[in-house]
Amino acid sequence: MAERGTDILVIGGGPAGVAAAMSAQNTYTEKKITLIRRESAAVIPCGIPYTITSLEKPEDDVIPDKLLEGKGIQIIVDEVLDINERSAVLKGGNVIDYDRLVLATGSVSVLPRIEGIELDNVYSIKKSLDFLKKFKIKAAKSENVVIVGGGFIGFEFADEILKLNKNVTIVEKLPHCLSSAFDDEFCEMAESEMRRIGAKVITGRTVEKIEGKSKVESILLDNEERIPTDLVLVSVGYKPNVELAKKANLRMGTSGAIWVDEYLRTSDHRIFAVGDCAEKKGFLTRKPVMVMLASTAMAEGRLAGSNLFRIKVIREFHGVLWTFSTKFGNLSLAETGLTERAAKESGLDYVVGIAKTADRHPGKIKDATQVFCKLIFSRYSHLLLGAEIAGGKSVGEMINVVSVMIQKGLTDMEIDTLQIGTHPLLTPSPIAYPLINASADAILKWYKS
């Protein structure tokens, strides 16, 4: 019994869902669009760590509803129980008929099986405003904080909690933190910066047990080391939220996310899936990969929204090119495409180009920071395959220069003849522009070999 109907229904209020709804509204101005989400407010996922210190209050980390409502998109706060038969059944009792459905149900934290993980003051991140308010107060009240998992999110939270003058310990089970995204030399820079700003960084160790009566009191590592703590944040990964899709018998991908074709269509051609819940194919290798980035989710949402009824926007798709950046202490790090480790593991014959310079010129300009840039090229195809950059805040946009280069298939020789812009107060010197000089370095290596 349909109480209400809509042309386009989007489930999920995160970046993918918002992008899909807005793009659909731009493209299909006559259609009725409805977005359903569980939370009363749509938290900006990448801003979550910054609700601790950098933002005055968690409410500042919210996607404003007027972005959608101002364009006539209806927002319903409710939980969807079922999506079969072109109808969404809501927990609140309503049923909404739809013509096209976009699943943007996102991802949820993975909880490792550690004894004591159910104790009080042991948390994993939830993308909920209520959770963030509570966690901010907990962080302020604690003295000794342990973060389990040395990935981006762990590092960003550590940076923020250190600003509250707390003792922070990061425990990473792999030999290096951030090693899913960076080669060892960059991981070492990151760990050393994290130590410089005051965190204890423990690598190559697992947490055997979380200890305490009702509240957590300490954690026990596999080397018998016991670390007293009154707050634990477990951040070891996310998994796609695919409950609804499974219930609706949509095809699942081998990665555990919802299978989609090149245009984000699921096995039901009226249902699309975008963002963390949708399977991604990796750039160049085209194998299923886990990429959970708001920027990737946005690109998918935008594309799906345009193409809901007809394919209006063609994409020349080489797979998902993950591009990310982060900052803690004074170090900004960015990565896109393949690392050297990934190139090696993929069996690629590659050449590495390296460049080091200041991000201002001359280097004595006051806010100059050293930039270290590593590019990976295919030795014989000469294509740019990946980049890692460490430096100041400008690496956040510099990695996007690389991202465009990779997506457009630039070779080392093309980068060698590229025209770029420079300014003393804003960029590295034209003589030392790191993307060009790292390409030149790579060229020299195969040219002279």
Q: Binders of its own copies among 385-414, rule CB under 8 A?
A: 393-401, 403-405, 407-408, 410, 413-414
Q: What distance in Å separates the CA atoms of residue 59 and residue 436, rounded to the nearest whole number?
A: 42
By beta-carbon proximity to its own copies, the closer residue of 24 and 202 is 24
Residues 296-335 that bind its own copies (CB under 8 A): 296-299, 302-303, 306, 313-316, 320-327, 332, 334
Per CB under 8 A, does 68 bind its own copies? no
User: Least distance (Å) from its own copies to the CB of residue 48?
Assistant: 9
Q: How far is the CB of 383 from its own copies (least distance, A)?
A: 13
382 contributes a contact to its own copies by CB under 8 A? no
DSSP 8-state assignment for residue 48: G
The binder of its own copies chosen from 105, 142, 336, 378 (CB under 8 A): 336
How many residues lie near its own copies (CB under 8 A)?
Answer: 88
**63 is a site residue for its own copies (CB under 8 A):** yes
* Site residues (CB under 8 A) for its own copies, limited to 18-47: 18-19, 22-23, 26-27, 29, 44, 46-47
d(CA 428, CA 20) in angstroms, rounded, equals 37
Query: Contact with its own copies (CB under 8 A): which of 2, 67, 110, 137?
Result: 67
Q: Is 126 in the site for its own copies (CB under 8 A)?
A: no
Q: Which two tokens stand for residue 29?
A: 């101005």
DSSP 8-state class, residue 136: H
Closest contact distance (angstroms) between CB of 82 and its own copies is 29
CA 93, chain centre distance (Å): 34
110 vs 314, beta carbon nearer its own copies: 314
391 by DSSP, 3-state: which?
A: strand
Cα–Cα dist 170/296, whole Å: 27
Is 190 strand, coil or helix? helix
Site string for its own copies, 256-295 (x = CB under 8 A): -------------------------------------xxx
DSSP string, 298-366: HHHHHHHHHTSSS--S------B--EEEEEETTEEEEEEE--HHHHHHTT--EEEEEEEEESSSSTTST
8-state DSSP, 212: -
Q: Which residues pair with 231 in a beta bridge?
A: 145
Whether residue 274 contacts residue 240, with contact meaning beta carbons closer than 8 Å, is answered with no
Pairing of strands 74-77, 350-358: unpaired
Q: How far is the CB of 414 from its own copies (least distance, A)?
A: 7
Rank residues 158 and 250 by Cβ distance to its own copies and give the closer one: 158
Q: Write down the least CB distance from residue 342 to its own copies, Å.
A: 17
Q: Tell me the backbone φ, ψ of residue 167, rounded to 5 degrees.
A: -85, 125
- Nearest distance in Å: CB 80, its own copies: 22
Tokens describing residue 95: 């049923």
Instruction: Give me the least distance between CB of 332 and its own copies, in Å please.
Output: 6
Output the six-digit token pair for 246.
Answer: 């499974």
Closer CB to its own copies, 248 or 410, in the complex: 410
Binding mask 412-431 for its own copies (x = CB under 8 A): -xx-xxxxxxxxxxxx-xxx
Our finding on whether 365 is near its own copies (CB under 8 A) is: yes
Q: Give, in order, the Cα–Cα distances in Å from 208 to each of 33, 56, 221, 291, 398.
A: 49, 36, 5, 28, 41
Nearest distance, CB of residue 100 and its own copies, angstroms: 19
Q: Which of 5, 54, 111, 203 binds its own copies (CB under 8 A)?
A: 54
Rounded to the nearest 5 degrees, what angle is found at the Cα of 241, between the Cα atoms of 235 and 244?
160
